[in-house]
């Protein structure tokens, strides 16, 4: 039996994730024939087929699915060995793979990146902006070191650290600036614009209105907060945005911003990382810096 290599397991993992030889090869930065050859060699070593050849879309065999699942655990453990060495050698000033949800990234990242660079000269920061579900998957798989998003997530194996609370504000057409501020419960009776499915902020906004995620509703959805605010400016409806987005998204838009009275709806923003991450101590230090950056951002906005 030929020895099984980490390289072969990485290729199998890529194939399991992409379910396509060409895409898997591209992700691994090798040619498709080279990836196919490595998979065949792995099959020879294991004595069984891992891929159902000719199937469209590509499918792994039962053995392939089991080996791919175990390969992910092995690869994660191997990556953590490298993280141990990196944490001891570089601390937070080495490489940081940070994931951020879209309703935080455009507003907090500019200041946070400056603060990180000032605190950790030479830091190699890699930022990934995507929705919560993908961030959790990539964090669990070891493709990210930490993620900045809305809590709670309550995912087994992940550490949650709450950093700050942030209120939601109502954005409505400028012509309605003098209108009374409605209660959150009254928003479903208005034409409420929301982010499209998959954004956690959509679910949070629905919860503010007392509606459950996935419930049928009339209205329009947008792909970003910027789109929602511009739609409101065009007189289409109203929307909710987080406080940190107000300065960026409403600048120059013909809209009015209204804040709710007592019991304002809010979200908790925090950081996640794997409980067994060798960088856990360093990430707590980074989390405190994120908290300070957010405080400075809000102070500058209110000045």
What's the pLDDT tens digit per position in 257-274?
999 886 688 899 999 999
DSSP bridge pairs for 266: 167
Residue 11 pLDDT > 70: yes
Q: What is the pLDDT of residues 174-207, one digit of tens each?
A: 999 999 998 888 887 888 898 888 788 888 888 8
Confidence class of residue 92 from pLDDT cuts 50, 70 and 90?
A: low
Confidence class of residue 74 from pLDDT cuts 50, 70 and 90?
A: confident
Structural domains in the chain, CATH included, are 6-84 (1.10.10.10), 92-164+267-302 (3.40.190.10), 167-266 (3.40.190.10)
Structure tokens at 284: 């707590």
pLDDT the model gives residue 90: 59
Q: What is the mean pLDDT of residues 66-73?
A: 89
Residue 229 near residue 253, CB atoms below 8 Å: yes
Provide the residue count of the chain. Answer: 303
pLDDT the model gives residue 42: 92
pLDDT the model gives residue 211: 65
Residue 254 pLDDT > 80: yes
Residue 157 near residue 274, CB atoms below 8 Å: yes
The 8-class DSSP code of residue 116 comes to: H
The pTM (predicted TM-score) of the whole model is: 0.75
Q: How far apart are CA 59 and CA 10, in angstroms?
A: 17
DSSP bridge pairs for 97: 126
92 half-sphere exposure, CB direction, 13 A CA radius? 19
Q: What is the pLDDT of residues 104-144, one digit of tens each?
A: 999 999 999 999 999 988 888 999 999 999 999 999 888 89
* Positive or negative torsion for Cα 199, 210, 269, 161: negative
* Average per-residue pLDDT for the chain: 88
Q: How far apart are CA 226 and CA 46, in angstroms?
A: 52
Q: What is the mean pLDDT of residues 61-67?
A: 92
């Amino acid at each position: 039996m030929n020895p099984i290599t980490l390289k072969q397991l990485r290729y199998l993992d890529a194939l399991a994730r992409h379910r396509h030889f060409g895409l898997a090869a591209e992700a691994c930065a090798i040619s498709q024939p080279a990836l196919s050859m490595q998979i065949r060699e792995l099959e020879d070593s294991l004595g069984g087929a891992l891929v159902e050849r000719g199937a469209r879309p590509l499918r792994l065999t039962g053995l392939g699915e089991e080996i791919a699942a175990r390969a992910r655990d092995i690869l994660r453990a191997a990556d953590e060995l490298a993280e141990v060495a990196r944490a001891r050698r570089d601390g937070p000033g080495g490489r940081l793979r940070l994931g951020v949800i879209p309703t935080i990234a455009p507003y907090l990242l500019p200041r946070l990146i400056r603060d990180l660079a000032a605190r950790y000269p030479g830091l190699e920061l890699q930022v990934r902006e995507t929705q919560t579900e993908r961030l959790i998957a990539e964090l669990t798989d070891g493709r990210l070191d930490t993620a900045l998003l809305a809590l709670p997530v309550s995912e087994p194996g992940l550490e949650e650290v709450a950093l700050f609370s942030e209120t939601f504000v109502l954005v409505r057409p400028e012509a309605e600036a003098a209108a009374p501020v409605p209660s959150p419960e009254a928003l479903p009776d208005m034409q409420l614009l929301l982010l499209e499915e998959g954004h956690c902020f959509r679910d949070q906004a629905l919860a503010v209105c007392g509606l459950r995620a996935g419930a049928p509703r009339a209205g329009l959805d947008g792909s970003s907060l910027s789109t929602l605010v511009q739609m409101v400016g065009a007189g289409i409806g109203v929307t909710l945005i987080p406080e940190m987005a107000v300065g960026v998204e409403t600048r120059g838009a013909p809209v009015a911003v209204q804040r709710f009275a007592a019991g304002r709806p809010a979200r908790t923003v925090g950081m996640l990382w794997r409980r067994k991450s060798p960088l856990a101590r360093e990430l707590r230090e980074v989390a405190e810096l994120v908290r300070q950056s957010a405080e400075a951002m809000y102070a500058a906005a209110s000045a």
